[in-house]
């Protein structure tokens, strides 16, 4: 009798409810997912200073000093720094990098050109980012130019880790140093 | 006319739904894999600065965030500028070094994303940068939003 009852029972598990459960989970993950991409200005910090080692000597003409002071003014120049409107930072930097030894007060060659950034404690963060944006913009434009000239495509279209990209990067290496803060 | 009606009447009107769970599961797995569940609750106010020449961070898993901004107090008031890492406010800047060093040991390709309030002063960031240099986490990223043209 009992065995007969068992035989009548449907041995299959209902699969129709599975879709509902999956939908529920799907909606949950849809809601919690944030697809937005992080964007920002990337920078490589210099390693911690070694006390036993003197910094290598750099010719003044090869070092563009950019100082953002506490009032939010940008001072830049190779020898003496002069107040510069933030809109001119990009042009001045491009002149400096692409000088190739012509003007004795500007850099010898693009791969020797170094940008040194100095700030003060009261420097507004916004001004600093605007300045850094201009510096990155200058290098982006130069690399784009070099890429167009040599390969006929914009810099952004070169493949990552490709030889072409490396060549352009070597033409205009981004040498940005952060000056030691005053104590 | 009648001929056409007859033909359509014979065809089954049902869309086969038996493959639906498979499709849904596939979507589900996609979202499960892409979701980063852990988001911190911000205890400091951070309004992003805007910039034009920005780059994307593709690998979110490498990123560790440091938030700098005025502390959120009760009643929509803002306090002094503080540093927040993960879920806690760091009172002493020198604690950043140990925290970041531990994170770097877990993930050698660590990128530190600095999310700084746009009206903050740079001195705090300088302190953090000095600590990061000591810790050896040299890849940093100043988090900014894309500047709108003309804005």
The angle at the Cα of A41, spanning A182 to B118, to the nearest 5 degrees, equals 70
Quickly name the fold that domain A60-178 has.
Nucleotidyltransferase; domain 5 (3.30.420)
Cβ–Cβ below 8 Å for B55 and A44: no
Q: Does B144 touch chain A (CB under 8 A)?
A: yes
Per-residue pLDDT of A85-123, as tens digits, reads 888 888 988 888 888 888 888 888 888 888 888 888 888
Q: Does A26 touch chain B (CB under 8 A)?
A: yes
The domain limits of chain B are 49-146
At A177, is the pLDDT very low, low, confident or very high (cuts 50, 70, 90)?
Answer: confident
**CA of residue A94 relative to chain centroid, distance:** 18
User: Model's pTM, two decimal places?
Assistant: 0.76
Per-residue pLDDT of B86-100, as tens digits, reads 888 888 888 888 989
Cβ–Cβ below 8 Å for B122 and A37: no
Across the range B11-35, mean pLDDT stands at 79
pLDDT at A8: 64
- Chain B residues in contact with A119 by the CB 8 A cut-off are 122, 126
Q: Number of Cβ pairs closer than 8 Å across A and B? A: 143
pLDDT at B6: 55
Cβ–Cβ below 8 Å for B56 and A136: no
Q: What is the C-alpha radius of gyration for chain B, rounded to an integer number of angstroms? A: 25
Strands (E), chain A: 38-44, 63-68, 74-77, 82-84, 114-119, 176-178
Most confident of A21-30, B3-12, B114-123: B114-123
Decide if A75 contacts A116 (C-beta within 8 A). Answer: no
At A36, is the pLDDT very low, low, confident or very high (cuts 50, 70, 90)?
Answer: low
pLDDT at A4: 52
CA dihedral (B59, B56, B116, B151) in degrees, to 10, reads -160
Cβ–Cβ below 8 Å for A48 and B136: yes
pLDDT at B49: 85
Pick the CATH number of B49-146 from 3.60.10.10, 3.30.420.270, 3.40.640.10, 2.60.40.3080: 3.30.420.270
CA of A72 to nearest chain B CA: how many angstroms apart? 10
pLDDT at B151: 43
Closest CA to A157 of A168, B147, A111: A168
At A6, is the pLDDT very low, low, confident or very high (cuts 50, 70, 90)?
Answer: low
SS3 A143: helix
Helix axis angle for A125-151 and B122-135, nearest 10°, is 60
Q: State the Cα–Cα distance between residues A91 and A114, nearest whole angstrom.
A: 16
Closest CA to A60 of A84, A96, A88, A89: A96
On the question of pLDDT at A64 being above 70, the answer is: yes
Q: Which residues of A28-53 are buried (b: 16+ CB within 10 A; e: fewer)?
A: ebeeeeeeeebbbbbbebeeeeeeee
How confident is the prediction for chain B on average, in pLDDT?
82
CA of A167 to nearest chain B CA: how many angstroms apart? 20
Among left, alpha and beta (phi > 0; psi -120 to 50; other), residue B114 is beta
**Long-range residue pairs from B10-16, CB within 8 A, at least 24 positions apart, any chain:** none
Cβ–Cβ below 8 Å for B21 and A68: no
pLDDT at B45: 87
């Amino acid at each position: 009798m009992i065995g007969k009852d068992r035989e009548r029972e449907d041995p299959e598990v209902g699969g129709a409810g599975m879709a509902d459960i999956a939908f529920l989970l799907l909606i949950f993950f849809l809601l919690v997912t944030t697809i937005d991409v992080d964007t920002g200005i990337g920078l490589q910090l210099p390693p911690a200073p070694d006390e036993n080692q003197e910094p290598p000597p750099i010719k003044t003409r090869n070092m563009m000093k950019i100082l953002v002071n506490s009032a939010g003014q940008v001072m830049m120049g190779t020898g003496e720094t002069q107040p510069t409107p933030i809109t001119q930072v990009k042009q001045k930097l491009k002149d400096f990098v692409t000088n190739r030894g012509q003007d004795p007060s500007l850099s010898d060659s693009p791969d020797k050109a170094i940008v040194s950034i100095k700030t003060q404690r009261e420097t507004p963060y916004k001004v600093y980012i605007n300045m850094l944006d201009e510096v990155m913009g200058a290098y982006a434009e130069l690399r784009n130019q070099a890429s167009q000239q040599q390969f006929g495509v914009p810099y952004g279209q070169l493949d990552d880790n490709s030889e072409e990209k490396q060549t352009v990067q070597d033409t205009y290496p981004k040498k940005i140093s952060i000056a030691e803060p005053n104590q | 006319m009648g001929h056409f009606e007859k033909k359509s009447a014979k065809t089954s009107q049902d869309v086969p739904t038996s493959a639906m769970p498979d499709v849904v599961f596939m979507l589900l797995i996609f979202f499960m894999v892409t979701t980063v569940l852990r988001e911190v609750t911000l205890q400091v106010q951070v309004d992003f600065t805007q910039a034009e020449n920005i780059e994307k961070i593709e690998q979110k898993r490498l990123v560790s965030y440091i938030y700098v901004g005025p502390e959120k107090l009760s009643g929509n008031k803002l306090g002094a500028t503080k540093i927040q890492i993960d879920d806690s406010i760091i009172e002493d800047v020198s604690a950043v070094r140990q925290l970041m060093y531990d994170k770097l040991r877990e993930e050698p390709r660590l990128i530190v994303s600095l999310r700084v309030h746009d009206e903050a002063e740079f001195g705090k960031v300088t302190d953090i940068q000095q600590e990061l240099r000591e810790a050896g986490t040299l890849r940093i990223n100043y988090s900014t939003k894309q500047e709108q043209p003309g804005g």
